[in-house]
Amino acid sequence: MKTRRAHHKLNYFQTIDFLKDFLYWNPQSIQNYKSKYFELARKYSFLSLTPELEFKDSVEFFAYSTLFGSEIFTLKESKDYCTREYQKLDEKTLKITLSRLYSSFRRVEPRLPSSPRTYYSFGDDFTIQYLFSLVKVDLFTYEQAKQFCTNQLFISTFSVKNLKKFYYELRLLEPRLPSAPHITYKGQGWVSFCNFFNLEERNLFTYSEARNYCISEYQKTIKLHSIKNLYAFYSDLRIKQPKLPSRPHITYENHGWISFKSLFNIETFFSYKECCSYCTKAYDELFGFDNPSNLNNFYYKLRQNEPRLPSGPYKFYKVQGLTSIKELFGLRKTVLFTLHEAIDYCHSQKRNLIKSGVSRGTFYERLRSIEKRLPSTPQAHYRQKHGRITLKTLFGL
């Protein structure tokens, strides 16, 4: 098929005709219609990159499978398919939640809708059990669930280290326990898993106590070795000190929390001038006048030993005008060729490349290793001003 750029995007029905025609000439098994559509959309510019938005007025329920001419199952067909496949499963597989089973069925049978509740216009009363011909389970009330879980913990013959994991093991034995108790029992008494199992809540540090502890441990550790990741370091501290909360940004949200850097009393980020000075000095000391193969990797290696360097320098120093990583290291930004300059250069070198026995597919890559003013992706670099550019255009092939 031709891939010539179209001036107008195809509408909903034209898209269906095109994709049906594509599958006729290119018969293939498609496991994921959405992925296949966007694969084609990147190749054929007349296909919309936002079909769900553009076609919402053309169809009541949008599905990528219908674009390829594959009709979604009716409700009866979906129910028959799910029930039949469910009855084939062994006892071990039946322990998987129904939602996950349905997703696994869809990977094999794409005619099952991604959202049956929406597609079949079910209300809030819809349960996944209906599609599997299973009787709807009446869930425990909060008090019933709490009593059941407390009893099971009491008679347990092994030590329970993770209450949440233990709860989901109980769900395999008792389907009347909800899959998301924090949502189902919200406003009915739910506080936490500790409270749910009638265990005492841990006496957590106040924010001031947690900060003093973290600062003390950080200062002890930084003398021995560098700390690459504050989040990982905090998780290690929690193993030693259970009074530290698992999610400090939530626990201390209204009690002084600012950031992990503040928690460990680490100085704020470098100013743009300080960042440039630090990076330039490190670059000169390590490389002199040699250009490292990847400045971005070098920058992130510097961050491992200097937390005052921001993780996203482009965004952080955008106001100061940072446009290239080279600017942080005191290097001049390369001025790329215009399209006409790139074409002239490629044409002038084409004969030498042919004589050297270089394959046509690597012409451009070979020239870029010699001439840095050629953009790494000419198709993307010149597209806005000049439309679609191919390597054939550059070399006149």
pLDDT digits (tens, 9 = 90+) for 265-277: 876 778 888 888 8
In a domain, 89, yes or no: yes
In a domain, 179, yes or no: yes
For residue range 291-323, what is the model confidence (pLDDT) as tens digits? 555 778 888 888 877 777 887 788 888 888 787
What value, to the nearest 5°, has the Cα angle with vertex 375 and ends 373 and 379? 150
- Choose among 134, 114, 138, 116: nearest CA to 126: 116
Q: Are both 146 and 168 inside the same structural domain?
A: yes
User: What confidence score (pLDDT) does residue 3 get?
Assistant: 43
**Position 5 confidence tier, pLDDT thresholds 50, 70, 90:** very low
Q: Report, as an integer, the average pLDDT of 212-220.
A: 88
- Which range has highest mean pLDDT (156-160, 266-270, 340-344)? 340-344
In a domain, 4, yes or no: no
- The region of weakest confidence among 74-88, 118-132, 344-358 is 118-132
User: What confidence score (pLDDT) does residue 228 get?
Assistant: 65
Q: Report, as an integer, the average pLDDT of 176-182.
A: 82
User: What confidence score (pLDDT) does residue 288 get?
Assistant: 47
In a domain, 302, yes or no: yes
4 pLDDT more than 50: no
**Position 289 confidence tier, pLDDT thresholds 50, 70, 90:** very low
Q: How far apart are CA 116 and CA 75, in angstroms?
A: 8
377 pLDDT more than 80: no
Domain count, the chain: 6
CA distances from 66 to 11, 37, 174, 318 (A): 14, 11, 39, 44
186 pLDDT more than 80: yes
In a domain, 137, yes or no: no
287 pLDDT more than 60: no
Q: Report, as an integer, the average pLDDT of 113-118.
A: 79
User: pTM above 0.85?
Assistant: no
95 pLDDT more than 60: no
Mean pLDDT of the chain: 79
What percentage of the chain carries pLDDT values higher than 70? Answer: 86
Q: Report, as an integer, the average pLDDT of 74-84.
A: 87
In a domain, 334, yes or no: no
Query: With helix as H, strand as E and coil as C, how does the chain read?
Result: CCCCCCCCCCCHHHHHHHHHHHHHHCCCCCCCHHHHHHHHHHHCCCCCCCHHHHCCCCCCCCCHHHHCCCCCCCHHHHHHHHHHHHHCCCCCHHHCCHHHHHHHHHHHCCCCCCCHHHHCCCCCCCCHHHHHCCCCCCCCCHHHHHHHHHHHHHHCCCCCCCHHHHHHHHHHHCCCCCCCHHHHCCCCCCCCHHHHCCCCCCCCCCHHHHHHHHHHHHHHHHCCCCCCCHHHHHHHHHHHCCCCCCCHHHHCCCCCCCCHHHHCCCCCCCCHHHHHHHHHHHHHHHHCCCCCCCHHHHHHHHHCCCCCCCCCHHHHCCCCCCCCHHHHCCCCCCCCCCHHHHHHHHHHHHHHHHHCCCCHHHHHHHHHCCCCCCCCCHHHHHHHHHCCCCHHHHHCC
2 pLDDT more than 60: no
162 pLDDT more than 70: yes
Q: Report, as an integer, the average pLDDT of 91-98.
A: 64
In a domain, 390, yes or no: yes
Q: Report, as an integer, the average pLDDT of 106-112.
A: 80
Q: Report, as an integer, the average pLDDT of 332-339.
A: 78
CA distances from 1 to 21, 39, 40, 145, 200 (A): 10, 15, 12, 61, 68
31 pLDDT more than 70: no
In a domain, 348, yes or no: yes
Q: Are both 128 and 79 inside the same structural domain?
A: yes
177 pLDDT more than 50: yes
Q: Report, as an integer, the average pLDDT of 52-72.
A: 74
User: What confidence score (pLDDT) does residue 349 get?
Assistant: 85
The residue segments making up the domain with residue 169 are 142-196
Q: Are both 63 and 79 inside the same structural domain?
A: no
Q: Are both 235 and 259 inside the same structural domain?
A: yes
Q: Report, as an integer, the average pLDDT of 28-42.
A: 77
Q: Are both 322 and 353 inside the same structural domain?
A: no
Q: Are both 350 and 318 inside the same structural domain?
A: no
283 pLDDT more than 60: yes
User: What confidence score (pLDDT) does residue 6 get?
Assistant: 44
109 pLDDT more than 70: yes
Q: How far apart are CA 85 and CA 106, in angstroms?
A: 12
